[in-house]
Amino acid sequence: MSSVLQDIRNDFPIFSAKENEGLIYFDNAATSQRPKCVIDAVSDFYKKNNANPLRGLYGLSMRATEDYESSRETVSKFVNAKESSEIIFTRNATESLNLIAYAYAMENVNEGDEIAVSIMEHHSNILPWQMVSRAKKAKLVWLECDKETGVIPDSEYQKINEKTKIVSIAHVSNVLGITNPVKEIARIAHKNNAVIVIDGAQAVPHFKVDVQDIDADFYVFSGHKFLAPTGIGCLYAKRAILDSMSPFLRGGEMIEYVTRDTATYAEVPHKFEAGTVNAGGAVGMKAACNYLEKIGFDFIEKHVDSLTGLLLEGIKKIPHIKTIGHPDYSKHCGIVTFTIDGVHPHDIASILDTEKIAVRAGHHCAQPLGAYLNLPATARASLYFYNTEEEVNLFLEKVAKVRSWMGFKED
């Protein structure tokens, strides 16, 4: 292990905890680990500046407000929003998608309109659009991918037409790891007067995202996927769109003035942040953004690609294991989904857990994709920049033994 990588791993307390001795954590697509600087930032906020932001005129509350709004500014720059007011703090990407569905789609989709989603979407980017389609008597249109590579053929984008009002798609698939050409899809959507919603939960941790360059109308992501705490997420949206939308939730702090019968709402972004906000989570997200900028996405992409290539090439040499998705490791964004002949994915995960290797097994909240590929369940190893070649090699050694441990006699 290089000294640079060792220094990075030293930043993550979970790897040195006695309880986790020997742990190989390959479930990063579900949630990442947190560096000490993020943990300290959250702890320091509650130790020194804990008060209800945006509400008090006393010094402590004003410091809490400053921390909260400073975090918004940092996140804004992290994804290159035009202005910080285009960043709405939510609980996670799921809440962000539901906010769009209720506050935008329910007001802008009508009977006979169409909403286009890809077959590879996480349930969080399917269920809200099913709801809108039923409520508004609109049609849900599926963009299907090539079953061997995971790439959506250009011909599928012809389904986006003058009836399309919303195109909602993952920047990176949480099962296939494929990176969709969201900038080109945005161009096609806008050509047809539709808006594009991008689920960036798996993209933001792995490469630099520029929402202005993509020309995204909406872009959502979760903090816990890229080193920030759980319970904090983001919705980016163009300011003009946010100004036109009604609030998703109503209550404290999102109002300007309330009478017995009416209310006027606060300006964006506070119009969409009802109730007491998760200031500690926002502060943690700011620290995560700063840490990733310090590490550098050039290093992250190069290292994760290298590990993914090592893992994929190693699996190819093991009989009875099949990987899902593109044969090119650089198309996987650190995600390697696989099956083992005769072994249920839950058994794969349980057996590897006895070897202190953490992988995910199941449908990965993407059951329509599983049905499309005729794979009701798979195992998934997902890598991040603090993982090592030694871990990949040990994983390959152990996964090669799963069938024999299950009692299969190899040829």
Contacts of 191 by beta carbon, 8 Å cutoff, 6+ apart: none
Cα 121 to its chain centre, rounded Å, is: 11
Cα separation, 71 vs 65, in Å, equals: 10
Q: Which two tokens stand for residue 343?
A: 């072994």
Cα separation, 16 vs 359, in Å, equals: 19
Q: Is 197 left (phi over 0), alpha (psi -120 to 50) or beta?
A: beta
Question: Is-catalytic flag, 145?
Answer: no
| Structural contact between residues 116 and 159, judged by C-beta atoms closer than 8 angstroms | yes
For the chain, helix (H) and strand (E) counts, in that order, are 15, 15
3-state DSSP assignment of residue 287: helix
Contacts of 184 by beta carbon, 8 Å cutoff, 6+ apart: none
| Structural contact between residues 275 and 255, judged by C-beta atoms closer than 8 angstroms | no
Residue given tokens 């983001």 in the structure block: 234
Q: 64: number of CA atoms within 13 Å, CB side?
A: 22
Q: Is 284 left (phi over 0), alpha (psi -120 to 50) or beta?
A: alpha
Cα separation, 146 vs 231, in Å, equals: 34
| Structural contact between residues 82 and 242, judged by C-beta atoms closer than 8 angstroms | no
3-state DSSP assignment of residue 332: coil
- Check 37, 289, 333, 365 and give the catalytic one: 365
| Structural contact between residues 338 and 324, judged by C-beta atoms closer than 8 angstroms | yes
Q: DSSP characters for 139-166? A: EEEEE---TTT-PPPGGGGGG--TTEEE
Write out the catalytic residue numbers.
365
